[in-house]
Amino acid sequence: MGLLISPSVLNADLSRLADEVRRVERAADWIHLDVMDNHFVPNLTFGLPVIESLIAATSLPADCHLMINDPDRWAPAYAEAGAGSVTFHIEAARNPRQICRDLRNHGARAAAALKPGTRIEEIEDLLPDLDMILIMTVEPGFGGQSFMEDMLPKVRRAREYAKNAGTDIWVQVDGGVDAKTIGMCAEAGANIFVAGSAVYRADDPAVMIETLRDIATSACGH
């Protein structure tokens, strides 16, 4: 399985969003877009209209991470708008199975995210409907926080779930992923890595993406 890097624009210059996405276009596999609503998390970013414009402005597939309340109501529109992957938080969902079906019906990969305090067992019944599990390795809401190493057993469990499901479920890590921590994540079984500040605070974000990919690849022995 190939390893995928999905840079988050959260810590980029948000006044020049399309340009910031283009800086990573040649090196990244996806672009990670953090939608926050000031309710599910104490921060507010951007929503559907901005994401629609970005989808039109880049060749990278959009990896939308919805840190919002009521994803049952709001998530399908992101798939309809052309996002390649839409992640909702399991803690906020009323009928996660229906959300996954709606997302897939609109042609997107369906993904569920778990906050650090949420047990992996919460998504066990949902595996047939999932294309990706996102293990948060910081409390969601802000970029630039420190990686929570105690989340690694959860990453391992997510990888076991994915193997046992017999379908192609990806395991994503998000939060504090950088050159120091990405190897541990890959070794634990993650195959798609979100990196925000590590990429956008680097002198050359595209070069940093290649560095991260190389470290992850050697850590998982591919």
Instruction: List residues binding Zn ion (CB under 5 A).
Output: 34, 65, 174
Complex with ligand DX5: residue 8 or 191, whichever CB lies closer? 8
Q: Is 3 helix (H, G, I), strand (E, B) or coil?
A: coil
Per the annotation, the verdict on 34 as an active-site residue is yes
The amino acid occupying position 222 is H
Largest CA distance in the chain: 44
Chosen from Zn ion, ligand DX5, none, partner binding at 141 (C-beta under 5 to 8 Å by type): ligand DX5
Dist. CA 132–CA 88, nearest whole Å: 11
The interface region with ligand DX5, picked from 5-13, 15-23, 181-189, 212-220 by CB under 6 A, is 5-13
Catalytic residue among 34, 63, 102, 178: 34
End-to-end Cα distance, the chain: 8
Residues 6+ apart with CB under 8 A from 10: 34, 45, 142, 143, 196
Residue 7 contacts ligand DX5 per CB under 6 A: no
Q: Give how many residues touch ligand DX5 by CB under 6 A.
A: 22
Per the annotation, the verdict on 13 as an active-site residue is no
Dist. CA 121–CA 9, nearest whole Å: 30
Residue 144 contacts ligand DX5 per CB under 6 A: yes
Residue 76 contacts ligand DX5 per CB under 6 A: no
Identify the residue whose tokens are 């994915």.
162
Residue 196 contacts ligand DX5 per CB under 6 A: yes
Catalytic residue among 63, 129, 131, 174: 174
Residues 6+ apart with CB under 8 A from 199: 7, 8, 24, 205, 208, 209, 212
Q: Residue from 86, 90, 195, 208 that binds ligand DX5 (CB under 6 A)?
A: 195
Q: Which residues bind ligand DX5 (CB under 6 A)?
A: 8, 10-11, 32, 34, 65, 138, 140-145, 174-177, 194-198
Residues noted as catalytic: 34, 174
